[in-house]
Structure 1
Amino acid sequence: MIQFTYIPEVPEDIRVVVGIDLGTTYSGFAYAHVGSCDVISNEDWPGKKGLKKTPTVLQYDENFEQTILWGFDALASEPTKRRKKVQPNTVELFKFHLGNIPKEQKPALPSNISAERAITDYLRKMGEIIKEKVENHWPGTDFFRMVRLIATVPAEFTEDTKSIMRQCMYEANLINNSGTQNLKFTTEPEAAAVHCMKEFNQHGLKTGDKYLVVDCGGGTIDLTVRKLLDNNRLGEDTERSGDFCGGTFVDKEFLRFLEGKVGRYAMDIFRIKHYSQLSYMIQQFCERVKTRFTGEESEFRKYSLDIEKTCPALKQYVSGSARDELEEEEWEININFETVKSFFDPVVSKILQLISIQLDKSKCTVMFLVGGFSESKYLQQRIKQRFSKCKVAIPPYPMAAIARGAVMYGLDMDAIKNRVLKWTYGVAVHPKFQEGDPPSRKESDGRIKKFCLMAKRGAQVEVNQQFSATMLPNDPKQTGMLFKLYYTAKETAQFCDEPEMHKLGEFHVDLPDTHLGLDRPVTLSLCFGAMEIIAIARNKTSGQVHRTTFKLNL
């Protein structure tokens, strides 16, 4: 659900701000009271304490009817320690399904578990802890009335993502009204940029300076260039960017290597029938190899994957020469330094390219690395080598930067002065066919459907700045006007059915006073400053302002 309505001022009785970072591989939240503004990261998770994030993993019962475990508790355990009759239904990496990546690259989900349901189930479990923390710290706080939630989304996700997230949070009982304004959104790199504000003095940043934030997550890499303005306000200097090349893609390279050893058929069947063992194998690879890899061969400890111990079910699907070779090696696969480096390099190269594009657009004095994958020593080393002219810094709590920055943004939403539009927005219009229009598009009523541009990609917009267009009815007798809103990654467009065009949604406006004929103008205004798009329609004849809520056509 996206609210197309006027956003009122935040109620005075907001007492607590909670920042929620739903990550691809790890998730977390932070919170603060508006009186003290001291940001607290949650470190108390089921199954483990002392860490600021928990795995984005769920385990369902046999029929996928109920969530039985989540987070650390849901991580697959060593196969030899499981009860043989128990086969947990593990679901993870479901956030990938919200992104615009090829279908074949999205992890398989059980047929009866949609990405939306998994997100809702996970947020419901996290929400129980959030409510408990708020109540314990500030007894008597009315959660739905006195708590402002700030949810983060990746920079490269479409507008649909915020709609899906809002509905999931409603169904997870984190909000009691899908249209509440106590839920706000910000992008992950923007939250990270706000988090880094506390480090300005240490790195000599002053008014007018620009800095790059690189959020290295598990699934996505998000980048934004921010400019420090007067009164500790931030402006967005270039269009934020991102791609699907986070830490989990190193895991995918590892699995591709393993597929070369055991065969594609064996891996496909193993993935489908024994996902929990696959998950455990990846978990072991991350703990023993991925997080320890520095890029220095002298510091590398050779890793041996013991198939019989780590993923015994895989053996039964291996055949032919692959089986002969593995039996000769007693089902152990040795992985050396160069092989592990080959897992990292394709991913790191994409990240370096993304950084290079941003730095070519804007000169920055400092680059901040945040996110779980930013703690990779090899990634840090490669970035520092490639961009030696830019100071590379890692702020405190890099893995918790998104949630903490979201809280800071929620405490002072005026910290963001402007943003750069990532999409081109417009509305469908139905003017009379004119010479030069494509004849094939001429309709029986002598009109043609077109895209009327209202705000162009790359434009720098002030918070709550409005873009307006005035429309007239096509028929003097019509009693209403239907606005259909679209957005595209292109800077310009002519028609609403062009490739890369997405429908944002539609809403209806009443047009009484038919005696006035065509002289009944309606001004449509779009406001982008609050992250969620606001649409306002004003009937200039009657003075009536139309406010409406509708579901997106996803």
Structure 2
Amino acid sequence: MCGQTTGVGHLGVAAIDFGTTYSGYAFSFKSQFETDPCNISAKTWTGGQLQSLKAPTCVLIKPDRTTLETFGFDAETRYSQLCETGEHTQWYYFQRFKMLLWKKEINKNSMLEDETGKMLPALTVFSLSIRYMKEDMERMSEKQLCGIHPGDIHWVITVPAIWDDSAKNFMRLAAQKAGIDSAKLTIALEPEAASIYCRHIPVEIDGNTGLEASFRVGKKFIVLDSGGGTIDITVHEVCFDGKLKEIYKATGGAWGGTMVDKEFLDFIAELTGKDLLQRFKKDHMEDYLDLLRDFEIKKRKTDSNSQGRVTIKLPLTFMDLVEDNKGQTIKHIVKSSHYANMATLSGDKFRLDYNIFRSFFKKSVDNIVSHVKYLLFEQETAGVDTILMVGGFSESPLLTDTIQREFPRMKVIVPKDAGLAVMKGAVIFGHCPTLIKERVSKYTYGIEAIDRFDRKVHPLNKLHKTDKGNMCREIFDLVVKSGEKLRVDEPHFERRYSSVNVDQYYLSLSLYTTTNNDVKFVTDIGCKNIGCIDVPLSGKGTDRCVKVRLYFGGTEIIFECEEESTGIVTRNVVNLM
């Protein structure tokens, strides 16, 4: 199935699954992959009595603003200790910060706000987190294979498929700052990675043999990647060679498991007041985290048919805080509320009717169901008969129950260890990046170009005088249309551009995106400049030409420039920062 590996010299592949709520890493050596692609090792994280293959996406940075103290469960514990002694105000604690990159203008100077309102560069926070996992993984791999060098490892970092190009580029920049060689780094799209993993494990029964098998050739399926922050949805088809092609552009939204958490916290705030909940979080961080962990456990067990009541343990520090500030116990507050018939408090045991508990899921689940229904009405998804559910939130029985009920004609598959499918699939993708052979463009792309000015066609405000004569500036030179099918490793745009001034030392090619397929100028409404490609020019004159090729089929945009007079070719990822 795999026709091309990451290349000579890589002894292994390591993948970092950088999630909104939980993160982790996994790796395999080349020899392991060649024998069994699913023979993948992952770090086991420890938090108190809990052991997990992922850790909370939390980072604690020292007061000097540049030194990492710790990450994951240890960051939660250490910060809680600092809060207890009142030392936390000088430290920087960040959690669930990945969502900064969702639908926000992000650049290398963007700032992040920590738990107490202090600011640090986002690039610092992301790069220190990646560096921690990188160095931890290198220590772990050295124990398994003595003498392995960091340069022997090819790295993969996962990102949501619905992120824009700038956010993906930001993650590459953060990885470079963390010490990962850009030439040894691949950006993987989360639902694609999960889909690749599921191509290597049995997910259905073969109708002819009655045996477990992976998806057959021609199979069309939706990948519903439900994480903590985002819901990432792609539609794939299995090709004749066993590889995958995307048949509908990636879509989704910020409807992940954290939306359920927010609904629960809003419910608590409705009873006790938002300011009091914030104060509890600030003054008793460890107890606040215990409350969320208990809620997380109950969240993972609740299904559509759960009866009776679910019990959440309220921290005594929170109950005392409420009584001291409200002049009444939280038990009395609940009794006096309109939830009196559906909620009770006995000691520290907060018992909620399952109808209330399920209501915390409603906004998230309704958005997911509505969006999948929309996708199934699209012409491109005709023939889709399966929904493959992956990601940590897909392990929620309530979510899977709802998807099965709302789509009775669909086969709904939740593979074993659905929450690890992205991380393990990213390792396989790192070994064999050609497993995805075709993608669909989410945007329309164009290059800002210049051409001979024609008074019959071009507006006067676009007139630009050059050594070559009167030119029309700011033309949107179409590269790729939204919805266009893009073959991996094939150029989707090739054009010759020439100098317009005698003493011009470089060509500056600005790249734009839009969701509008009918664009004439880069100044049209909806056009967004996402980056620039500077191409050096040799000599002088207005006839110096550069041949530009752009590759859009990969997870990042690749440009290739050939200066015709010298034959010099440069190839790189387009820098969007």
Q: 1:237-276 maps to which residues of 2 (within 5 A)?
A: 237-268=247-278, 270=280
Structure 2 partner of 1:213: 223
1:523 and 1:68 mapped to 2: Cα distance?
A: 48
TM-score, normalised via structure 1 length = 0.86
The one of 121, 136, 139 aligned to 2:146 = 139
1:309 and 1:552 mapped to 2: Cα distance?
A: 48
SS at match of 1:347: helix
1:79 and 1:510 mapped to 2: Cα distance?
A: 53
Over 3 Å counting, the alpha-carbon distance change for 1:472 and 1:366 in structure 2 is: same
Amino acid at match of 1:27: S
2:245 and 2:194 mapped to 1: Cα distance?
A: 14
Q: 1:150-549 maps to which residues of 2 (within 5 A)?
A: 150-173=156-179, 175=180, 177=181, 180-199=182-201, 202-204=204-206, 205-268=215-278, 270=280, 277-287=287-297, 289-298=298-307, 300-304=308-312, 306=314, 308-310=316-318, 313=321, 325=333, 334-361=351-378, 362=381, 363-431=383-451, 432=453, 434-438=455-459, 447-466=472-491, 467-515=493-541, 517=542, 519-547=543-571
Q: Is the 8 A contact 2:295 2:312 kept in 1?
A: no
How much does 1:430 deviate?
2.9
Give the percent of matched residue pairs that are identical in Structure 1 and Structure 2: 26
SS at match of 1:449: strand
2:259 and 2:409 mapped to 1: Cα distance?
A: 28
1:80 and 1:549 mapped to 2: Cα distance?
A: 43
How much does 1:201 deviate?
6.7
Moved more, 369-378 or 474-483: 474-483
Question: Is 1:91 aligned with 2:94?
Answer: yes
Q: Is the 8 A contact 2:558 2:572 kept in 1?
A: no
When you count strand as a share of all residues, which structure comes out higher? Answer: 2
SS at match of 1:181: helix
Question: Is 1:36 aligned with 2:45?
Answer: no
Over 3 Å counting, the alpha-carbon distance change for 1:548 and 1:334 in structure 2 is: closer
Structure 2 partner of 1:73: 74
1:307 and 1:184 mapped to 2: Cα distance?
A: 44
SS at match of 1:325: helix
How much does 1:165 deviate?
1.4
Amino acid at match of 2:551: C
Moved more, 533-542 or 148-157: 533-542
Over 3 Å counting, the alpha-carbon distance change for 1:62 and 1:541 in structure 2 is: closer
Q: Which has the higher contact order (CA 8 A, sep 6+)?
A: 1
How much does 1:470 deviate?
2.1
Moved more, 152-161 or 479-488: 479-488
Structure 2 partner of 1:149: 155
Q: Is the 8 A contact 2:515 2:526 kept in 1?
A: yes
Amino acid at match of 2:137: I
1:440 and 1:253 mapped to 2: Cα distance?
A: 52
SS at match of 1:478: coil
1:82 and 1:430 mapped to 2: Cα distance?
A: 59
Q: Is the 8 A contact 1:419 1:461 kept in 2?
A: yes
Moved more, 343-352 or 312-321: 312-321
Amino acid at match of 1:235: K
Moved more, 278-287 or 224-233: 278-287
SS at match of 1:468: strand
2:523 and 2:567 mapped to 1: Cα distance?
A: 33
Amino acid at match of 1:354: H
1:80 and 1:122 mapped to 2: Cα distance?
A: 20
Moved more, 251-260 or 310-319: 310-319
How much does 1:190 deviate?
0.5
Once the two structures are superposed, what CA deviation does each residue of 1:277-336 show, in whole Å capped at 9, x if it has no partner? 54443223222x3122112242x4333563644575566665899998369889986532
How much does 1:202 deviate?
3.1
2:557 and 2:81 mapped to 1: Cα distance?
A: 52
2:69 and 2:203 mapped to 1: Cα distance?
A: 47
Once the two structures are superposed, what CA deviation does each residue of 1:17-58 show, in whole Å capped at 9, x if it has no partner? 112100001112221111221432314225467522111112
How much does 1:417 deviate?
1.2
SS at match of 1:529: coil
How much does 1:189 deviate?
0.5
SS at match of 2:53: coil
Q: Is the 8 A contact 2:113 2:119 kept in 1?
A: no
Over 3 Å counting, the alpha-carbon distance change for 1:482 and 1:63 in structure 2 is: closer
TM-score, normalised via structure 2 length = 0.83
Moved more, 226-235 or 350-359: 350-359
Task: Report how many aligned residue pairs link the two structures.
Answer: 535
Structure 1 partner of 2:211: none
2:175 and 2:80 mapped to 1: Cα distance?
A: 34
CA RMSD of aligned residues (A): 3.4
How much does 1:83 deviate?
4.9
SS at match of 1:36: helix
1:189 and 1:246 mapped to 2: Cα distance?
A: 14
How much does 1:130 deviate?
0.7
How much does 1:242 deviate?
1.8
1:529 and 1:470 mapped to 2: Cα distance?
A: 21
SS at match of 2:267: helix
Amino acid at match of 2:194: A
The one of 103, 109, 119 aligned to 1:112 = 119
SS at match of 1:100: coil
SS at match of 1:496: coil
How much does 1:61 deviate?
4.6
Structure 2 partner of 1:4: none
Structure 1 partner of 2:212: none
1:404 and 1:548 mapped to 2: Cα distance?
A: 27
How much does 1:547 deviate?
4.6
Q: Is the 8 A contact 2:557 2:573 kept in 1?
A: no
1:415 and 1:401 mapped to 2: Cα distance?
A: 16
SS at match of 1:406: helix
Once the two structures are superposed, what CA deviation does each residue of 1:159-209 show, in whole Å capped at 9, x if it has no partner? 112222122222223x1x3xx321111100100110110245734432111
Q: Is the 8 A contact 2:12 2:27 kept in 1?
A: yes
Q: Is the 8 A contact 1:192 1:402 kept in 2?
A: yes
2:574 and 2:392 mapped to 1: Cα distance?
A: 36
